Amino acid sequence: MIPKSRVHRAQLALLLLPGLLVFALFTVYPILRLFWMSLCDMSFSSMLSQPFAGLSNYREIFQDQTFWIVFVNSMAYTLITVPGQMVLGLLLAVLLSGIRRFSVTFRVLNYMPVVTSWVIASLVFRYIFNTEGLLNYFLWKVLGVTSSNIRWLDSRWGGLSVAMILGVWKGIGWNMVIFLAALQQVSKDLYEAAEIDGCGGWGKFLHVTLPGIRGTILFVLIELTIGGFNVFTSIKMITGGRPAHQTDTLLTWMYYKAFSTGKFGYAAALSFVMALTLALLAIVQFRMMRSRDA
Amino acid sequence: MRTYRKPVAAFLACLMLMLCSCAFAESEPVTINFWHHYSAQSAENETLMNVLIPAFEAENPGIRVNAVSHEWAELHDKVLVSANSNALPDVARCDIAWLPEFQKMGILVALDEEMPDFAQVSGQLLDSAMSTAVIGGHYYALALNTNSKIVFYNTAMLEAAGVAVPETMDEWCEALRKLSGENANGQQIWGWNEPALAGWNICPFIWSFGGSLTNAEQTVASGYINSPATVRAVETFAALVQEGCITGFNAGDIPMTDGFGTGRYAMMLEGPWKSAELAGAYPDVAYGTAPIPAGEGGSVSVLGGEDIAMFSTAHKEAAWKFMQFMTSEFAETEMAKCGQIPVNKAALESDTVKGADYAPFIAAIETAKARPTVAAWSEMDNDLTVAMTAIVTGEKTAQEALDELAAQWDILLK
């Protein structure tokens, strides 16, 4: 007689097996293969032989001046767009949770940028910020506050700023929806208790709302940080990395190295550098939130 | 005797069966996969699918062609990825800039080594176009179609500024200065549009000024890309950018066709496809064409175009027949009707070609040069763009940036 627990475990294993197999085949294997690629010399001359090259791809990355430019660009994009989206998304959520009429209409309107195609939104932003675009027309010809066209997209920080504005604009709606859901979970009793203790609106937000949605804040923070490092379409469409890769980010640079120069080994190593950076940032974010808990 | 009859009959039956099956196997058609980047909706693709492939299959009953259309950049990437998974096509229409990369990967067939009638077939094609298929002394493709760039000028803008079509580089500089400034509506106008700072854009100026990129063997860049003539070419170009006479390569600039069509860019160096674009988007704009102005190096434009190459996993005999067909007078003349400039010498003499809109480009092709046919060209091209950006923004002097570039290229060319 086989013990019941063992049968149960076998059943569990059988049920898990298909999922585990799919996970192993489509997630674990590609990651391991990619890691192996990052240790190989995979360029045009060695695409088929793929000789082992140790850490030379990683060495090349850290000695590459362009890598540091695109790394700083990705960091800056994340550092600006993540708090931007979160603050504005939370603000909207708080405002919307306080109104009774037209609440759904406002939610839909604010969520619309999220469902807009990245390509279309990027092209619209490009037309707005072009040297002869809509913004310059308004500033110069309508308002008269400038005396010539400003070259918004032609410099490193100008081009990146436009991509950042787009990133924030497009992300506010998603943050709003997540925070709205989180705000529903904060107990009304706590607000009443705070009111009895003499807390004003700001005090309630600081001492009740924020601690009440801390878990959601951490989730959003990590999700958006990953999203920030994954910025690709807007950069490709708005600046194309111009001038001379000055506005490229980690992902657009990785794509360029793999598919334009055939350096798949370098690109694979770059993806691990990026993953490691994201893991480190996630650990820091977890620690910071935990220390506040304590 | 009778006892042997059955086994002999069985043996003969087996033999017949084997012979039949062999005969059947031989008559089974070979399918060759042909990847190309003619747009799926284009006239070229129509001609390929409805005229050329049916004609080829009728001529060669044992061969079928499976043609697959890709986007230009997608085709390059797909070949790279397919090389790793051993899923390459038999034949592909490749941009001439890709061949050195594919050759270095070891996935192309050296046609002059493997095809006994190669000399006879390639002899029917233009030498300048065939030069794009030579890598390390061997031929890895047949030239399929070619193109180059010539000057497009806005007739009204030149007349308004009282400027004649420039024939020399000195006249070109003067013309650009006169054509740039403000128009009657107070809008800024530029004498020249250059949409990027890569080799495709800058090489015509370097070569026409008498400069060069590398030595003839394409093994050394020092002394060539930083030679006095090259530095002079780049300095002249950068000075015109800084004076506000050239633009187009910045992310926020007006796109080339729009700027030219609306009278904001007076001149540009472009290929035969631009005529169709202008006819579609700005049918009323009056423009003329001229060769690139001549400098100390003559009037030298850049050679573009496509070659047709065979991959190492191909059905070689069938693939070679298809490649010969695609470069034949018949196929090239048919494609010429859709705007493809042929490289087949007999097709070039046809009335179709002589009466075509792109006739002015054929003269430019005769003196045009190909960019270096080396596998590292993508990286070299990127380095050139970075160096040119530093020069035109005034971050570095031309001599400084090109000296650094020469050192980088020397390493890549090793």
B131-157 pLDDT, tens per residue? 889 988 899 999 999 989 999 999 999
Query: In this structure, are B77 and B168 located in the same domain?
Result: no
Q: Name the residue of chain A whose CA is nearest to B76's CA.
A: A259
Query: In this structure, are B310 and B322 located in the same domain?
Result: yes
Residue B260: is its pLDDT beyond 90? yes
Mean pLDDT value across residues B210-214: 97
Residues of A whose CB is below 8 A from B385: 244
* CA distances, A269 to each of A43, A119, A251 (Å): 13, 28, 12
In a domain, A52, yes or no: no
* Predicted confidence band of residue B125 (pLDDT cuts 50, 70, 90): very high
Query: In this structure, are B141 and B272 located in the same domain?
Result: no
Q: In terms of pLDDT, which residue wins out, B324 or B27? A: B324
- Which of B107, B135, B379 has the highest number of chain A CBs within 10 A, making it the mutation to test binding with A? B379
In a domain, A81, yes or no: yes
Residues of B whose CB is below 8 A from A262: 80, 101, 105, 378
CA A228/CA A171 separation, integer angstroms: 11
The region of weakest confidence among B99-108, B175-184, B231-240 is: B99-108
Query: In this structure, are B121 and B39 located in the same domain?
Result: yes
Question: Which pLDDT score, from 0 to 100, does residue B105 have?
Answer: 86
Residue B21: is its pLDDT beyond 70? no
In a domain, A16, yes or no: no
* Predicted confidence band of residue B27 (pLDDT cuts 50, 70, 90): low
Task: Write the ipTM.
Answer: 0.80
* Predicted confidence band of residue B23 (pLDDT cuts 50, 70, 90): very low
Residue B113: is its pLDDT beyond 50? yes
Distance between first and last Cα of chain B = 78
- Whether residue A47 and residue B105 make contact (CB cut-off 8 A), yes or no, is yes
Residue B14: is its pLDDT beyond 60? no
- Whether residue A262 and residue B101 make contact (CB cut-off 8 A), yes or no, is yes
Query: In this structure, are B117 and B172 located in the same domain?
Result: no
B223-254 pLDDT, tens per residue? 999 999 999 999 999 999 999 999 999 999 99
Residues of A whose CB is below 8 A from B389: 243-244
A213-249 pLDDT, tens per residue? 999 999 999 999 999 999 999 999 999 999 989 999 9
B77 at interface of A, judged by CB pairs closer than 8 A: yes
Query: In this structure, are B294 and B316 located in the same domain?
Result: no
- Please provide the average confidence, as pLDDT, over all residues in chain A: 92
In a domain, A44, yes or no: no
* Predicted confidence band of residue B26 (pLDDT cuts 50, 70, 90): very low
pLDDT exceeding 70 applies to what percent of chain B?
Answer: 93
Averaged pLDDT, groups of 10, chain A, 294 residues long: 79 94 96 94 76 93 95 97 97 90 89 95 95 94 92 95 97 96 92 90 91 93 95 95 94 92 92 95 86 58
Q: Kindly report the CATH number assigned to the domain that includes residue B355.
A: 3.40.190.10
Q: Name the residue of chain A whose CA is nearest to B258's CA.
A: A132
CA B248/CA A277 separation, integer angstroms: 37
Nearest to A47 among B73, B83, B385 (CB): B83
Q: Kindly report the CATH number assigned to the domain that includes residue A203.
A: 1.10.3720.10
The residue whose two tokens read 């009638």 is B117
Question: Which pLDDT score, from 0 to 100, does residue B1 have?
Answer: 46
Give A231→chain B minimum CA distance, Å.
18
Burial class (CB in 10 A: 0-12, 13-18, 19+), A141: exposed
Question: Which pLDDT score, from 0 to 100, does residue A42 have?
Answer: 84
- Which structural domain, as residue segments, surrounds residue B257? 150-301+376-413
- Please provide the average confidence, as pLDDT, over all residues in chain B: 90
Query: In this structure, are B202 and B339 located in the same domain?
Result: no
Residues of A whose CB is below 8 A from B193: none
Q: Name the residue of chain B whose CA is nearest to A160's CA.
A: B251
- Sheet with B63-69, strands from edge to edge, namely B63-69, B30-36, B91-95, B303-310, B141-148, B341-342
Query: In this structure, are B219 and B340 located in the same domain?
Result: no
Of B288, B256, B271, the C-alpha closest to B340 is B271
- Whether residue B76 and residue A47 make contact (CB cut-off 8 A), yes or no, is no
Query: In this structure, are B272 and B409 located in the same domain?
Result: yes
Query: In this structure, are B175 and B245 located in the same domain?
Result: yes
CA B40/CA B68 separation, integer angstroms: 9
The token duo for B312 is: 């190492």
pLDDT exceeding 70 applies to what percent of chain A?
Answer: 97
- Whether residue A259 and residue B77 make contact (CB cut-off 8 A), yes or no, is yes
Give A143→chain B minimum CA distance, Å.
17
B323-349 pLDDT, tens per residue? 999 999 999 999 998 888 999 999 998
User: Which positions in chain A have a beta carbon within 8 angstroms of at least one beta carbon in chain B?
Assistant: 44-45, 47-48, 126, 129-133, 149, 151-154, 159, 238-240, 242-245, 247, 259-262, 264
Strands B181-182 and B150-154 turn out to be: unpaired
- Whether residue B251 and residue A260 make contact (CB cut-off 8 A), yes or no, is no
* Predicted confidence band of residue B20 (pLDDT cuts 50, 70, 90): very low
* Predicted confidence band of residue B392 (pLDDT cuts 50, 70, 90): very high
Query: In this structure, are B381 and B264 located in the same domain?
Result: yes
CA A226/CA A235 separation, integer angstroms: 16
Residue B10: is its pLDDT beyond 70? no
Give B301→chain A minimum CA distance, Å.
24
Domains of chain A: total: 1
- Which structural domain, as residue segments, surrounds residue A109? 64-293
